[in-house]
Structure 1
Amino acid sequence: MKGKSLKIVKSLISCLILIGLVNNVVSYAQSKNLWIIKATDTSNYNPAYLGNGIIGFKSLKNGLGAEKVIINGLYDHSPLGDNIRLVNYFNPINLSITFKDNSELKFGINVSEWQQHLNLKEATLETSYNYAGMLNVKSQLMALRNLPMTTLGLYEFTAIEDIEFTIKNVMSIPDRSKTFSSYKTNLNYGLYRLGNNSKEKIAIMSAGFPTESGKDCLAGANTYFFNGNSPEINYIKLNPNSQQCSFVVKLKKGDKFSFAMLSSFTHSGFTSDVYNDVIRICSKDYNLGYPKLVTAHKLAWENLWKSDIEIEGDDEAQIDVRLGLYSLYSSITDGFDLSIPPCGLSETGWGGHIFWDSELWMYPPLLLMKPDFAKSMIDFRFNTLAQAKKRAAQFGYKGAMYPWESDLQGNECTPISYKLDMNEHHVTADVAIAAWNYYQVTKDKIWLKEKGFPILKEVANFWVSRSQKDLEGIYHIKNVVGPDEYFEDVDDDAFTNGAVKMVLNAAIKSAKIMDEDIDKRWIDVSKNLIVLNHMDGYTLQNAQYTGQKIKQADVNLLAFPLEYIKDKAQIERDLNYYEPKIDPNGPSMSYSVLATSYARLGNSDKAYQLFKKSYQPNRKPPFGFISEKPRPSATVFCTGYGGILQTVLFGFAGLNIGKSGIYQEKAKLPLSWIKLTIKREGEKDIVCIQ
C-alpha cells in the first residue's frame, strides 16, 4: 500500500511539473473571449499565422509586414538541386518607417505598450504599440478569404508630438539574370484608370520574374488606399531587382494618418497572363474601397465558422481546438484542387510537399467539418493519378504508386539523401482509404465513378503487384518503411498490411456499387495478407521488431483510424504495449491516436491525459501554435492539429464513418467538459452532454 501511495504522489508531482512547463510555454491572457489570443510579451516570440489557402504568411513583432510569404500551387527547385519546395522567396508585404533625422523605426527598447491580438473568428492580427514616446502605431493584417490571391494591411499612425516621417514599401525580387527562361524579369510602376469614363487613377507597383529553375513565372503587385487626402507617391527603381514606393507624412500632435495596402500574387500555375493578371487582381473592386474587402473577408470567415467545435467547461481546450480548426481552414480553399502540407502555408518545412499527413491526419476532420475542403484534397490525388501510374511502372509495379512527398503534379519530391521515398509506400493505401471515406460520407456516386473508383482500382492493382505469396498461400509485403520511420526495409509492417487489406475491401465494395468487374486477386490478397501477432498477444509491428523504441504510432493505427482491429481486448493489449515504446521527442500525433482509442474504449480520463500530452508540450508562445515536437521545430503543425481534432470528433464525441455515412456512438467526454457541440454548416448540431 505504501508503494502504491508513493506512486500516486510521484504521478501527481509529474502532472504538476508538466502543468507548470505548459503554462511557462504559453499563457492565454483572455477576457473570456474564446476567439481572441492576446500577446503582450515579445521575449520568446513565435509568429502568428494568417492564410487563405493560396497565400500564407507569418507575422512580425512590429506589425508592419510579414516574416515570409508562402504561395500555394507552385513548386520550384534549383536547376541542379533536389530541394524542390513551395515558392517562398517573394515578400512585398513590408513597410519601413524613416524619421526626419534619418533614423528608422526599429523594434526594441523604444517600443512600449506592445500587444498583438490574433482574432480567430475574423482571421486578423492586430498590433499596437508606442514608439519612442512620439508615435502610436496600429495595424491589422489579414489574408483575404474573399480574394484568395491577396493580403491586406490596415495601418494607423497617431502623433504624440509634431512629427514627420516617410513610409516606404520595397518590392525586391531574386536575381534571375543568369536564369534561362522564356519569362523575363519585369519591375513596373503605373497609374491605372478605374474605368473608361473615370479620370481617377490608382498607383500599382508590380513585379514579375522567372522561378529559379526558369520553368514558371511568379508575379506580385501592391496598391494603396488612403483615408482623406492622398499623399504624393514617390516611385524609384533602386536597382535591377528592387523598387520602392514611398510617401511623406507630416502630423501635428494628436493627428492621425491611416491607409491600407493590398498585395496580390499569382503565377503561371494559375494563369498564362501572369504579368497582367496580378494587376487585375490587385485592382479588382478598388472603386468600392478597402472597407468592402474587409467586410467580405469577415463574412467569409463567419461562414467558415458555421462549422465549429464548441467546448463548455474547458476554456483552454476550447481555444486550442479552435486554433486547430483555424490552422486547417487557413491552409486550404476550394476551387483549386490543392491539398495541405504538414505546416499548412505557414512555412516550407518539408518543402511544403504533400505527405500522408494530408489523408490520414488532416483530411478526416475536414471531411466531417468542411467536405468541400476534403474534396479539394482528394481531387488533388485524382489529378495526379496518371503520374502515380507512371511512377508505379517506373519501379516495376502495376497500378498507381503515389509519391511519399508530392508536388502539384504528383512527382516524387523527397530529397534523394533520404530513402523513404523508395519504400514508404503506405501513403498509396492512405490515399485510397481517403477516397473511399469521401464516398461513404457524401454518397456521391458520380464522383465515385469518375474519380473515386479509378483511384481505388489502380491502388488495389498496385498492392496486388507489390505483395508476395509464399508456399502456404500467405501474402507478404516486404522491404517497406511503415509510419515508424526508425525501422527501414522491414517486412510485413502492421499498419501497411492492415491498410492494404482495408483498401482491397473498399475496392471490392466500390466495384459492386459501380457494377464493375471485381478482380479475383483483390479478394485473394485481402483474405490472405498477414498481419503479424506476437506470442504474448500483442500485434507485432513488423517481422523484425523486437521491442525497441518507436518514432510514432504504427500498430495502434489499426484500431483507429483504420478500425481493422475491433476487439477491445486486443486494442488494450496493443495500447499497453506500445505506449511506453513511443519516443517522447517524436511527432505529436501518436498521443492523439492513443487518446482517440482510449476514448472509444470508454476510458475518457486516460484519453484526456493523452489528448493534452499530444499538443500542450508543443505549444509555442505567445499564440500557442503547436510544433511537430516538444523541442524547437517547425510550428503551425497542421498534422498534429488534425490528430487532436480527430480525438475530439472520433473519440470524445463518438463520431464514426461507415457505410451509412457519419454516425454517432456514445460520447465519452472528459470529466471537466460540461458540453461538446459539433456544428456543421447545413447539418443538425451534434450535442454531447456530460
Structure 2
Amino acid sequence: MTRYLFVLLCQVLTATASMAQATHTDWQISTQSYADPYHGVTLANGGIGILPWREPFSIRHVMLNHVFDAHAEHGISRVLPGLNPFVLNVSLDGRNVSDTPLSEWIQELDMRHALLRTTFVADSKARISYDIRALRNMPYAGVIHVNIEAIDDLFLSVDNTTVTPNEYEPAKSSALELTVNDTQIRYRRSWATARHRGANVSASAVLLFDPEQMVDQNCSDERNRISISLKKGEHFTFDLIAAICSDRDFIDPWNESDREVIYAVKEGMDRLISRHNALWEELWQGDIEIEGDDEAQQAVRLALYHLYSFARADSRLSIPPYGLSSQGYSGHIFWDTELWMYPPMLFLNQGIAESMINYRIDRLPGARHKALAYGYRGVMFPWESDDAGEEACPTWALTGPFEHHITADIGIAAWNYYCMTRDLNWLRKEGWSLLREVADFWTSRVERNKDNTYSIRNVVCADEYAEGVDDNAFTNGAVMKALQAAVKAARLCGEKAPGIWTEIAEKIRIPHFEDGTTREYEGYDGRLIKQADANLLAYPLGIVTNKEDIRRDLEYYEPRIDAGPAMSYSILALQHARLGDGEKAYELFIKCYQPNRVPPFGITAEYAGSTNCYFATGAGGMLQAVINGFCGLDISDKGITQNPSALPKHWKRVTVKGVGPDRKSYTRTH
C-alpha cells in the first residue's frame, strides 16, 4: 500500500506539473505545452463525438451514439467509431505542416461555446488557426473553420479525405457535384458496412471557401483538394463541414449525409455557428458557480460541459460511462447512468434527464425478456445495455447475470423524474408501467425467511469485489425505495398496488454490525471494497438518516475503499458536507477528481494514473458532491428541498443555477 501511495503521488505531481503550464479561466482552458503527457478533449453534440489531438488538424476518431457492431464474430456488442471525414492534410510549398517546425502553438477549449481552437506558426511561413465544433444544432455534423495568414509568399494546398476504422469492411467513396440556386457544391461521400452485424455508415464532407478568390479545386473519389497561391500578408479562410449518418438513425444514411452538408452550405457558416452558440447558451442556464476556488470552478464546469456534450433532450438516449469520447466499456449503459450521471441532469436539465429515463422505457421489452429467461416476473434490466436493450455484458463477468440492483436503481430514477417535474401525464403514460414491472420483478426475486423478513440472495454488490453474497445493503435498500415509489405511483395513477409491495419494503433485511454500523452484506468481515456501497444508504437512498449513524458508517468504510473509480469520494464528500464538516468534505471532494486528471486540459480518467478518458460517471459524482452536498439540494416526494450543509472555509459561495422546471437558483454561503 505504501508503494502504491508513493507511485500515485508521483503520478499526481507529474500531471499537476504538466497542467500548471495550462491557463484556466472560468470558461476557457488553454495550453502551450506540446509535450507528453497529452490527452485531447472531446467535442460532442449528443450525436457524434470528435476527439482532436495536438498534431496539426489531427482527429483521433469520431464516435457514434448508440450505433453498435460486435467486437468480433459472435462477440458482444461494441459501440462503433464513425467514418472520419474530418481529415485535413494542409501543405505549404508541398510540405505537410505536420512535418514542419511549429512555433507559438496554443490550444484552447472554450466550454461556453463548445469549441477547440488551435493556433501555431508552421515553418515560419504561415500563421494557422482552426476551430473545431460538433454542431449542437446538427447532431450528426461537425465543422472545422480554418484561417491561414501568409508570413511569406507561399503555395497552399489542402486535401480532405476520409479514414475508415478497422471495424468496417473496406469503404467506397464517390465525388459528387451539384448546383443549388447558382451555388456549385463539390463534395465527397464515403460509405462502409460494419464487419459483423452489418451497420451501414455514410460520411459526406464539403470544403467551403470564398469563390471570389483564385482557388483551384479538384474533387475526386480519393480526395477533395483545394489550392491557392498567397502573397505575404494575405489571408485565406475555408471551412470543412462533414456529416456522419448511420442506418440506426436513417433508413437512407447515404443520401442523408449528403443532404446535411448541402443544408449546411446553403444555411451558411454564420447562421450555423450562431445557432450552435445559442443552443449552448440555453444549456448553460443550468450552471454551477463557485466563488473563492478557481480550480474547483473550472473542474466542475468541465464536468458539466462533458455531460451536456454527451446527451440531448428528445433523443430518448442515455450516456455510457465514457460518453462519446471513446469505446470504453463498449459504449454500454450501466447503473452509472441512473446513480451518477442522471441526478445532476435531473436538477439542471430535465429534457436530458427525460431522454435518459425514456431510454429505459423504450427497452422494457428486452428487460421483460431477460426476466423471463431467468425465471422471474416483471422486468430485469441488463447490467450492460446496448441499443437493443438486451444483456451485453461479457460472459466472463458475473455482473451481467447477478448485479441486480440496477433494476431498482432505474425504478428510483423514474420516480425521481416525476418528483422533479410533477408531470402526472408522463407518470401515467410512461413511468407507471416501468415502476409496476420493477416491483413485480422484486416480488419474484426476494425470498421470505422463517421470521417473515425478506432476503435477496446470491448477488453481486455495488462493491463488485463482493460476488455471490446475500442481503447486500445497497441492493436491499434500493429495492425498498423502488417498491415504496411504486406504491406511491400507483396511488397517483388511480391504480391499486398489491399489498406485498409494502410488506417487502417494510420487512426486507438490512444487515448491521453489533455497534449499529451498516454491514455491507451478510457475513461481511471488513475486507477491502471496490467502491462505496453501504454508504449509499444515507445518500442517495435516504434510508440512514441519523447523523451519528451516517458518521459511523463513513468512519468505518472510508479507510476500506480501494483505489477504485472516483465516485466513492464524491459520495463521502457529499455526506460530510451535509454533516456540517466542510473541510473534511473538501478533502474528499478533491480526491474524487484531482488524482484522476490528465494533462493538459484536466479531463478525468476512471482511475488515478490512467489515461482512460473521459470518465463521465466520475463527472456525475463530482457534480452531485457540489449540487447535493455543498449546496444541500435534494429531491423528495414534494419536490426540491435544500438541506443544511457546510462549505470549505476558502469557498465564499456556491450557487446552483437553473434548477428544476422553474429554473430557480439556490445558494449556500457560510
TM exceeding 0.5: yes
Q: Structure 1 residues 423, 19: closer, same or farther in 2, change over 3 A? A: closer
Give, in whole Å, the separation in 2 of the partners of 1:17 and 1:94.
37
Structure 1: runs of 5+ lacking an equivalent: 1-12, 180-184, 238-242
Give, in whole Å, the separation in 2 of the partners of 1:646 and 1:167.
46
Give, in whole Å, the separation in 2 of the partners of 1:425 and 1:454.
19
Q: How does 1:123-134 map to 2 (within 5 A)?
A: 123-134=114-125
Instruction: Report what 1:631 is aligned to.
Output: 609
Deviation at 1:45, TM superposition (A): 1.0
1:203-231 deviation digits (Å, cap 9, x = unpaired): 12112222222433111110121134262
Structure 2: runs of 5+ lacking an equivalent: 1-5
Instruction: Report what 1:188 is aligned to.
Output: 174
Give the alignment's Cα RMSD to 1 decimal. Answer: 2.1
Deviates more, 1:596-605 or 1:213-222: 213-222
Deviates more, 1:210-219 or 1:501-510: 210-219
Alignment size in residue pairs: 661
Instruction: Report what 1:391 is aligned to.
Output: 370
Q: How does 1:248-327 map to 2 (within 5 A)?
A: 248-327=227-306
Contact 1:657–1:663 (CA<8 Å) still a contact in 2? Answer: yes
1:237-270 deviation digits (Å, cap 9, x = unpaired): 3xxxxx3111223212222211001111111111
User: Alignment partner for residue 674 of structure 1, among 646, 652, 660?
Assistant: 652
User: Alignment partner for residue 498 of structure 1, among 455, 477, 482?
Assistant: 477
Give, in whole Å, the separation in 1 of the partners of 2:238 and 2:335.
43
Contact 2:314–2:352 (CA<8 Å) still a contact in 1? Answer: no
**If the length of structure 2 is used for normalisation, what is the TM-score?**
0.95
Question: Letter of the aligned partner of 1:495 in structure 2?
Answer: F
Instruction: Report what 1:88 is aligned to.
Output: 81
Contact 1:598–1:604 (CA<8 Å) still a contact in 2? Answer: yes
Instruction: Report what 1:645 is aligned to.
Output: 623
Instruction: Report what 2:213 is aligned to.
Output: 229
Q: How does 1:366-405 map to 2 (within 5 A)?
A: 366-405=345-384
Q: Which SS does the other structure have where 2:367 is aligned?
A: helix
Q: How does 1:276-675 map to 2 (within 5 A)?
A: 276-583=255-562, 585-675=563-653
Q: Structure 1 residues 511, 624: closer, same or farther in 2, change over 3 A? A: same
Give, in whole Å, the separation in 1 of the partners of 2:429 and 2:377.
20
Give, in whole Å, the separation in 1 of the partners of 2:426 and 2:312.
19
1:331-357 deviation digits (Å, cap 9, x = unpaired): 001222110011110111000111100
* Residue 112 (1) aligns with residue 92 (2): no
Deviates more, 1:660-669 or 1:416-425: 660-669
Give, in whole Å, the separation in 2 of the partners of 1:16 and 1:190.
55
Deviation at 1:573, TM superposition (A): 0.9
Deviation at 1:66, TM superposition (A): 1.5
Deviation at 1:174, TM superposition (A): 5.6
Question: Letter of the aligned partner of 1:218 in structure 2?
Answer: V
Q: Structure 1 residues 506, 107: closer, same or farther in 2, change over 3 A? A: farther
Contact 1:678–1:686 (CA<8 Å) still a contact in 2? Answer: yes
Give, in whole Å, the separation in 1 of the partners of 2:249 and 2:588.
43
1:158-181 deviation digits (Å, cap 9, x = unpaired): 2222211321111233689979xx
Give, in whole Å, the separation in 1 of the partners of 2:525 and 2:588.
25
Give, in whole Å, the separation in 2 of the partners of 1:17 and 1:77.
39
1:566-602 deviation digits (Å, cap 9, x = unpaired): 111111111000000001x210000000001111111
Deviates more, 1:160-169 or 1:496-505: 160-169
Instruction: Report what 1:147 is aligned to.
Output: 138
Give, in whole Å, the separation in 1 of the partners of 2:597 and 2:102.
26
* Residue 220 (1) aligns with residue 203 (2): yes
Question: Letter of the aligned partner of 2:527 in structure 1?
Answer: Q
Give, in whole Å, the separation in 1 of the partners of 2:69 and 2:231.
49
Contact 1:63–1:140 (CA<8 Å) still a contact in 2? Answer: no
Instruction: Report what 1:34 is aligned to.
Output: 26
1:133-152 deviation digits (Å, cap 9, x = unpaired): 12222100010111111101
1:636-660 deviation digits (Å, cap 9, x = unpaired): 1110010010010111111110011
Deviation at 1:465, TM superposition (A): 0.9
Q: Structure 1 residues 676, 84: closer, same or farther in 2, change over 3 A? A: same
Deviation at 1:25, TM superposition (A): 5.2
Give, in whole Å, the separation in 2 of the partners of 1:16 and 1:521.
52
Q: Which SS does the other structure have where 2:302 is aligned?
A: helix
User: Alignment partner for residue 69 of structure 1, among 58, 62, 67?
Assistant: 62
1:610-639 deviation digits (Å, cap 9, x = unpaired): 001110111111001111110214111110
Instruction: Report what 2:113 is aligned to.
Output: 122
1:356-375 deviation digits (Å, cap 9, x = unpaired): 00110000010000010000
* Residue 686 (1) aligns with residue 669 (2): no
Give, in whole Å, the separation in 1 of the partners of 2:650 and 2:279.
33
Instruction: Report what 2:3 is aligned to.
Output: none
Question: Letter of the aligned partner of 1:152 in structure 2?
Answer: V
Q: Structure 1 residues 540, 309: closer, same or farther in 2, change over 3 A? A: same
Give, in whole Å, the separation in 2 of the partners of 1:231 and 1:348.
39
Give, in whole Å, the separation in 2 of the partners of 1:165 and 1:327.
36
1:275-297 deviation digits (Å, cap 9, x = unpaired): 11111111114223212111111
Give, in whole Å, the separation in 2 of the partners of 1:551 and 1:673.
31
Give, in whole Å, the separation in 1 of the partners of 2:241 and 2:395.
40
Contact 1:82–1:413 (CA<8 Å) still a contact in 2? Answer: no
Give, in whole Å, the separation in 1 of the partners of 2:208 and 2:220.
20
**If the length of structure 1 is used for normalisation, what is the TM-score?**
0.92
Q: Structure 1 residues 620, 279: closer, same or farther in 2, change over 3 A? A: same
Question: Letter of the aligned partner of 2:558 in structure 1?
Answer: E
Contact 1:423–1:479 (CA<8 Å) still a contact in 2? Answer: yes
Q: Which SS does the other structure have where 1:93 is aligned?
A: strand
Deviation at 1:191, TM superposition (A): 1.2
Give, in whole Å, the separation in 2 of the partners of 1:91 and 1:318.
34
Q: Which SS does the other structure have where 2:359 is aligned?
A: helix
Contact 2:52–2:59 (CA<8 Å) still a contact in 1? Answer: yes
Percentage of pairs with the same residue? 37
Question: Letter of the aligned partner of 2:178 in structure 1?
Answer: Y
Q: Which SS does the other structure have where 2:20 is aligned?
A: coil
1:397-442 deviation digits (Å, cap 9, x = unpaired): 1110001111122011112222210101111111111000000010
* Residue 173 (1) aligns with residue 164 (2): yes
Deviation at 1:395, TM superposition (A): 0.8
Question: Letter of the aligned partner of 2:111 in structure 1?
Answer: L
Contact 1:38–1:118 (CA<8 Å) still a contact in 2? Answer: yes
Contact 2:18–2:599 (CA<8 Å) still a contact in 1? Answer: yes
Q: Structure 1 residues 153, 502: closer, same or farther in 2, change over 3 A? A: same
Contact 1:216–1:267 (CA<8 Å) still a contact in 2? Answer: yes
Contact 2:68–2:199 (CA<8 Å) still a contact in 1? Answer: no
Give, in whole Å, the separation in 2 of the partners of 1:518 and 1:303.
40
Q: Which SS does the other structure have where 2:85 is aligned?
A: coil
